[in-house]
Amino acid sequence: MRAEKVEAPARHASDAFVVRTRTPAQTRAGGGPGQLLNSKRFARAYVGAGWEVFQPVKMLRVVSWNINGIRRPLQGAANQEPSNCAAVAVGRILDQLDADIVCLQETKVTRDALTEPLAIVEGYNSYFSFSRNRSGYSGVATFCKDNATPVAAEEGLSGLFATQNGDVGCYGNMDEFTQEELRALDSEGRALLTQHKIRTWEGKEKTLTLINVYCPHADPGRPERLVFKMRFYRLLQIRAEALLAAGSHVIILGDLNTAHRPIDHWDAVNLECFEEDPGRKWMDSLLSNLGCQSASHVGPFIDSYRCFQPKQEGAFTCWSAVTGARHLNYGSRLDYVLGDRTLVIDTFQASFLLPEVMGSDHCPVGAVLSVSSVPAKQCPPLCTRFLPEFAGTQLKILHFLVPLEQSPVLEQSTLQHDNQTRVQTCQNKAQVRSTRPRPSQVGSSRGQKNLKSYFQPSPSCPQASPDIELPSLPLMSALMTPKTPEEKAVAKVVKGQAKTSEAKDEKELRTSFWKSVLAGPLRTPLCGGHREPCVMRTVKKPGPNLGRRFYMCARPRGPPTDPSSRCNFFLWSRPS
């Protein structure tokens, strides 16, 4: 049994020491070999207490992050300098995470859209898995520092995309899957394996395989995606257990898209059948519950964060960006670093979350191991620097065009053919110009008459035919022509009053028309809970209300008991 740690482990390798041997007195007092010390001051204290030997150890730091798109500038890094280049931001974020191995999920990039500055960062060697079905969807990537270069790398879990050169291997029994199902599970670019050589504090070399995964999301409106998710889980477990059986240590890290325990989800008490979720049951079978002595809770892997922080509440890694839930920490823990039991108990020194790192709807998670990496002499073939488009071996399209040697007679005939073609083209253009109607011929007038010509009458109103002439309004005046001077005077007065009334009506009509056009948007309603202006949203879920707009409280989503969180106000927007 390993002794308790004196203090949180050092972040940098040069600050860490480990106990090698001890005296019988210290054996009775507690502690033991493998105890990690994070400063020279603690090391001297142990020497003064009778410890015989301690040795400097290098630390291995791994970090995982659902980056939600590697091509867009990362907000947490790109705003620090005027340049918002995504490639510069990726290099800066890798430096900020300060890890030997960085695993990214949801890169949303396909191979044709991957640029060299994104794929090749100085000081790192990178490996990508792309979605083969959709562009800008899914995808994972692993960046390894040069001092942690893997000995093997492989895309996918099934082995169908293996190149038989530099692959990880160890696939297990996959007879329960068809070839079509395996190809479908790996075609979304959700898994990437890198295998490393590590050296323990005892000087022993072992193999460590990292499985970088972005597990599928189960959409409630698409039952087939839940089946897809569970089959992916099953394939992941078969591959991980096969690697363990082959003698390799295994770490599964990434976005598992399942909150395991009620403590890992803010609103678990209000979710129906939370414990009965198939994804949570799968995690129960995969993981060991260190606080339970029942044999049914002893799985091959350990949730490293809960190993160090078993009762920490509010430890979330994902929040809704649409509702602003991160502001009030209204989220769930979907990102994990899972290690096999022996590896976690013997070498894991810390497991952490980094909620202060912005730029995605997820935050990074990671772990520190008291082992050192033994870098491979050269990168595996899957490394992106070996891709033809980045290795300088891509041929230009001109190399595929061979000049044709022509005889003088052939050249002359070709020239004559070109001339004839040019003359025929000019004649065709002239014929087209001569047959094209002129503006004066079609009766079109240049310029805009007035703005009202753009406003068409309602289709419900009957339209008069342009060939029918409607009679003028003063029809009776043509039938009753005044004869006496008195009648003429009266008719003149009536005509003047009619003109005045007609002009007044026309003015009022124009005024009401422009008031209706220039009235502007409707007033934003106030929410019922806070009496504050609402925000307008649009329904994006498929169904009868798709595209409809509605008003809701503008505050971020949070716990219902928190008065500063969003209230339940809802109001459909009237159609414009």
Is residue 251 within 8 A of residue 337, CB to CB? The reply is yes
Identify any residues that bridge with 352 across adjacent strands, giving them in sequence order.
Answer: 366
Q: Say how far apart CA 178 and CA 156 lie, in whole Å.
A: 15
3-state SS, residue 86:
helix
The one catalytic residue among 255, 303, 335, 340: 255
Is residue 341 within 8 A of residue 241, CB to CB? The reply is no
The one catalytic residue among 196, 249, 260, 362: 362
Identify any residues that bridge with 152 across adjacent strands, giving them in sequence order.
Answer: 195
The one catalytic residue among 214, 233, 305, 336: 214
Q: If you ran DSSP here, which 8-state letter would residue 68 be given?
A: S
Residues 6+ apart with CB under 8 A from 255: 64, 66, 105, 106, 213, 214, 215, 318, 334, 335, 362
Q: Say how far apart CA 86 and CA 95 lie, in whole Å.
A: 14
DSSP per-residue letters across 226-279:
HHHHHHHHHHHHHHHHHHHHTT-EEEEEEE-----SGGGBTTGGGSTTGGG-HH
Is 362 catalytic? The answer is yes
Cβ atoms within 10 Å of 548's Cβ, excluding its own: 13
Is residue 244 within 8 A of residue 339, CB to CB? The reply is no
Is 255 catalytic? The answer is yes
- Structure token digits, residue 16: 């860490």
Q: Say how far apart CA 82 and CA 299 lie, in whole Å.
A: 49
**What strands, in cross-sheet order, belong to the sheet with 549-552?**
535-538, 549-552, 570-572
**How far, CA to CA in Å, does 180 sit from each of 80, 172, 186, 490, 554?**
47, 18, 10, 96, 46
**Burial bucket for residue 181 (CB in 10 Å: 0-12, 13-18, 19+):** middle
Q: Say how far apart CA 448 and CA 452 lie, in whole Å.
A: 10
**How far, CA to CA in Å, does 71 sit from each of 87, 88, 513?**
7, 11, 49
Q: Say how far apart CA 373 and CA 247 lie, in whole Å.
A: 17
Distance of CA 267 to the CA centre of its chain: 23
Residues 6+ apart with CB under 8 A from 121: 90, 91, 94, 143
- Structure token digits, residue 319: 């929040």
Is 214 catalytic? The answer is yes
Catalytic residues: 214, 255, 362
